[in-house]
């Protein structure tokens, strides 16, 4: 196996030679064998071990084992302990996913901190096949069947073309020791069933089954690349940025066939789950919305509007003059000034004596009206919004600055006539919105 | 099962109701059950049975069985006997593929002849899963994993959401008789192994395995549609028709990533197999070619030229005046005329007395030269072709009309000065190329 590994490095992964490599080592069979192979191939590597503190003293024994391994090879070692269960709780992740996230985050930090070039992990062909079958049994799409690439940014998986058997036989022939891992809780049962009952029979169907499988995964990955290129081209054509939001013309979406697949492809990065609701939105009445955890999609006449859900900032806030206000959702500055300067979109000047302090910052409510600056009479805010061609999301995000119940400034858009500076004005307040 | 079948027809396949259906019935379990279900659902169907004559009296007994079945249901029956082995030999196909081709061809003819609307076949979910696993074991791409669609043109597979178990149990509960098929030679061994050893274990992984698998196949099919839409858009942008051939700018191809996948996607419809050779063509020297059985791809400076391989028409042909010529590769008409008319690209007028009949029609040979009409002196054909900016394939296809060894007309391009009509000419021959 050493020969085959060396050849594989020399032919497909020659960019690893002479680089500083960080080998992710759990102490299990695969990563220990990878360490032996890297040593035998004169690669320049250090070990990195995550102690996820999930199995008490067993975890600590693993850590100890990897320390010993590093000293055998006379290479550097980096160790980090994680409170994985705590992190999983905080981030609402499964323990598996939490461990995964912590692991790759730390590797990324380490690479930067110690100026290493690549992280090596010990995934092999059987891992890929098992994951393929797990995903197949649960129902998946091309992403779930394509497998992980051998080279993905600075993460490299040099054992991907090798089978578990090859790795095991090499370990035995070289009397290599490793630690058995009793974790992998969530998928262990299913994965073991697949490993012991399904995979051997599949491999028995054809002597080149595993190689054929890897080729198939490679082809699927490439088809996925094609589909993604297509979707990215479409996005750059159909997704129009409007302020913070994205506007998508519905008539353009409706030209796409198969529509389900396009909606999923274009929008699955935004966390939506109810795809039938998303599809129904195309023909729904204006104002209908579908929510994900992070985004919402709004039908607004001929468009869908895709908006990030901002952290909850609705409510009522008080802004004092010459006194610290509490934390505000937007930066509003009040100051008394001597004279009238240039008024603008983000700056208005008002007659101090007409205002009741503290001023009130709040969102739009049904029935709101104001007296538009420079005009006679009052106007409903709903009418003003319509004239400004504002979509629902922009309306909801709009802040109003009020004096008691009266609107003083539709922030960033229009001041109120009633509070304007006049000849009779004795004290001027300058209000600035710092965007 | 009847209930579930009726519901499936009513919800997903309601377009079948009231239509004239042709049910492909081998006499095996699946198609016999399908016939019973169609009967129970009051669908308007007739049976169509192919006798492939592959298993002697067994084949004839199947035919007899299906005849009986039709009379039980009091529906029409169409039967055709094929000499499958003969056809397989002629078409250089496996017996399996030959049977498949004959079967679908005949269905197509039948539909038209008897004015039926759809063909129903009895493929079910286990068939799809088995085919998926067969292809996986052999190595495949997304096409091999996506499965057959439930509705494909006028072919409908209403049992696709049903498992073999459901079908079998229904047959048993209704005491339905069927014929066991001892054929399926080429894949039978592998398919049976998969059916009996792999599928039951996979289904044991999750109670909804088969349904999850069908969903996965559906997703893969849709991703494949996306990728194909992308490739078709690319083709219509990059493939430029030039005469009979297609011209593809190499610099445009080289922008595509992953290049392998794009080359395969754009060109796999033309029968190429040696994809590394195709890729190498991009950087090869001008004149290099790669062949498939039906096409060739030629590197010609900044372009790849994709050309159909025409039936072999090279050679030397003789064209008589006032006498039938043998079969010619192109239509050339010689006639003596009274007067000079309008000369054109496809028509020339020559001095009859300068010509030696029969004229000779042949392809270009190295060293050929002629005396261009309207010019003084001779010119090498290689130089003429270059000046005309002709690519290699156009040069090869170019026909020359000669009098003995002398070129009379570069057909469709340029006549020769030596044979032109002059004041002294007494007899004129009009030569027309009928394109």
What are B330-387's pLDDT values in tens digits?
888 888 888 887 778 899 999 999 999 899 999 888 889 999 998 899 999 999 998 9
- Partner A contacted by B196 (CB < 8 A): no
Is the model's pLDDT at B126 over the cut of 80?
Answer: yes
Query: How much is the pLDDT for B24?
Result: 95
Which residues in chain B are closer than 8 Å to A229, comparing Cβ atoms?
Answer: 230, 257
* CATH superfamily, domain at B317-434: Phenylalanyl-trna Synthetase, Chain B, domain 3 (3.50.40.10)
Would B2-188 and B317-434 be classified into the same CATH topology?
no
Residue in this structure with the two tokens 């106007």, named with its chain if needed: A379
B181: DSSP letter: P
Q: Are A304 and A315 in contact, with CB atoms under 8 Å apart?
A: no
DSSP letter for each residue of B185-253: HHHHHHHHHIIIIIHHHHHHH-TTHHHHHHHHHHHHHHHHHHHHHHHHHHHHHHEEEETTEEEEEHHHH
**Which residues in chain A touch residue B216, judged by CB atoms under 8 angstroms apart?**
136, 139-141, 144-145
Question: B20-51: per-residue pLDDT in tens?
Answer: 999 999 999 999 999 999 999 999 999 999 98
Give B147-195 pLDDT, tens digit per residue: 888 998 899 999 999 999 999 999 999 999 999 876 554 457 788 889 9
Alpha carbon of A141: minimum distance to chain B alpha carbons (Å): 5
Nearest to B212 among A137, A205, A231 (CB): A137
ipTM: 0.74
CA nearest neighbour of A215 among B423, B354, B140:
B140
CB A337 within 8 A of CB A428: yes
Known binding site: residues of A? 26-31
What's the CA gap between B76 and B60, in Å, rounded? 19
How far does Cα A12 stand from its chain's mean position? Answer: 31
Give the pLDDT of chain A (435 residues) as one tens digit per residue: 889 999 999 999 999 999 999 999 999 999 999 999 999 999 999 999 998 888 888 889 999 999 999 999 999 999 999 998 899 888 888 888 888 899 999 999 998 888 899 999 999 999 999 999 999 999 999 999 998 889 988 999 999 999 999 999 999 999 999 998 765 544 578 888 899 999 999 999 999 999 999 999 999 999 999 999 999 999 999 999 987 899 999 999 999 999 999 999 999 989 898 899 999 999 999 989 998 878 999 999 999 999 988 665 677 888 888 776 777 888 888 888 888 877 788 999 999 999 998 999 998 888 899 999 988 999 999 999 989 888 777 888 889 999 999 999 999 999 999 999 988 888 999 999 987
- Provide the pLDDT for residue B40: 94
Q: Is B181 exposed, middle or buried (0-12, 13-18, 19+ CB in 10 A)?
A: middle
A351: enclosing H helix or E strand: strand A347-351
Interface residue A228 vs chain B (CB under 8 A): no
Relative to beta strand A118-120, strand A44-51 is unpaired
- Percentage of chain B exceeding pLDDT 90: 64
Can the peptide bond before residue A358 be classed as cis, meaning omega within 30 degrees of 0? yes
Contact between residue A318 and residue A360 where contact means Cβ atoms under 8 Å apart: yes
Domains of chain A: which residue ranges? Answer: 2-205, 222-308, 317-434
Residue A123 Rama label (left phi>0; alpha psi -120 to 50; beta) = beta
Q: Which CATH number fits domain A222-308: 3.40.50.300, 2.30.40.10, 3.30.465.60, 3.40.50.720?
A: 3.30.465.60
Phi-psi label, residue A132: left if phi above 0, alpha if psi -120 to 50, beta otherwise? alpha
Interchain pair A209, B140: CB under 8 A: no
Instruction: Decide yes or no: CATH 3.40.50.920 for domain A2-205.
Output: no
Contacts of B424 (CB under 8 A, 6+ apart): none
Per-residue tokens: A72: 């055998």
- Put simply, the answer to whether A222 touches B136 (Cβ < 8 Å) is no
The whole-number pLDDT of residue B389 equals 82
Chain-centroid distance, C-alpha B197: 36
- How far, in Å, CA of B191 to CA of B202, rounded? 15
- The closest of B204, B101, B210, B199 to B163, measured between CA atoms, is B210
Chain A CB contacts of B194 under 8 Å are 205
Q: Is omega for the bond preceding B258 within 30 degrees of 0, making it cis?
A: yes
> Is the minimum CB–CB distance between B202 and chain A shorter than 8 Å?
yes
Residue A220 to residue B142, Cβ atoms within 8 A: yes
Chain A interface includes B153 (CB < 8 A): no
Q: How many CB pairs under 8 A join A and B?
A: 125
- Fold classification of B2-188 is Rossmann fold (3.40.50)
Burial class for B47, CB neighbours closer than 10 Å (0-12, 13-18, 19+): buried
Give, as one character, the DSSP assignment of residue B270. Answer: G
A317, two tokens? 């806030």
């Amino acid at each position: 196996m050493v020969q085959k590994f060396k050849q594989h490095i020399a032919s497909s992964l020659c960019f690893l030679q002479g680089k500083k490599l960080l080998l992710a080592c759990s102490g299990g069979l695969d990563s220990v064998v990878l360490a032996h192979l890297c040593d035998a191939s004169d690669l320049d590597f250090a070990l990195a071990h995550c102690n996820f503190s999930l199995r008490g003293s067993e975890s600590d024994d693993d850590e100890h084992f990897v320390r010993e391994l590093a000293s055998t090879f006379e290479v550097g070692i980096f160790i980090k302990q994680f409170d994985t269960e705590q992190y999983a709780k905080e981030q609402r992740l499964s323990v598996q996913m939490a461990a995964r996230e912590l692991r790759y985050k730390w590797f990324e930090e380490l690479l930067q901190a110690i100026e290493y070039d690549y992280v090596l992990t010990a995934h092999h062909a059987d891992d890929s096949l098992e994951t393929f079958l797990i995903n197949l049994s649960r129902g998946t799409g091309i992403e779930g069947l394509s497998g992980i690439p051998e080279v993905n940014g600075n993460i490299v998986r040099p054992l991907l073309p090798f089978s578990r058997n090859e790795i095991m036989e090499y370990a035995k022939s070289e009397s290599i020791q490793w630690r058995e891992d009793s974790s992998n809780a969530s998928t262990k049962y299913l994965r073991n069933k697949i490993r012991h009952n399904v995979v051997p029979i599949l491999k028995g169907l054809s002597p080149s089954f595993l190689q054929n499988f890897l080729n198939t995964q490679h082809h699927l990955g490439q088809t996925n690349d094609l589909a993604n290129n297509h979707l990215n081209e479409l996005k750059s054509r159909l997704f129009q940025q409007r302020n913070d939001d994205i506007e998508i013309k519905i008539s353009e979406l409706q030209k796409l066939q198969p529509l389900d697949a396009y909606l999923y492809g274009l929008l699955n990065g935004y966390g939506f789950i109810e795809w039938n609701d998303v599809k129904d939105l195309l023909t729904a009445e204006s104002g209908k919305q579908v929510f994900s955890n992070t985004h919402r999609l709004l039908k607004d006449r001929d468009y869908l509007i895709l908006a990030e859900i901002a952290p909850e900032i609705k409510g009522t806030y008080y802004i004092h003059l010459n006194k610290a206000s509490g934390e505000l959702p937007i930066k509003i500055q009040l100051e008394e000034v001597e004279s009238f300067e240039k008024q603008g979109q983000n700056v208005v000047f008002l007659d101090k004596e007409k205002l009741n302090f503290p001023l009130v910052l709040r969102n739009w409510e049904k029935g709101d009206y104001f007296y538009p600056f420079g005009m006679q009479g009052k106007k409903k805010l709903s009418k003003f919004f319509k004239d400004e061609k504002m979509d629902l999301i922009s309306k909801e995000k709009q802040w109003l600055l009020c004096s008691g119940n009266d609107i003083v400034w539709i922030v960033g858009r229009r001041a109120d006539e009633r509070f304007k500076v006049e000849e009779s004005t004795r004290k001027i307040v300058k209000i600035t919105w710092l965007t």
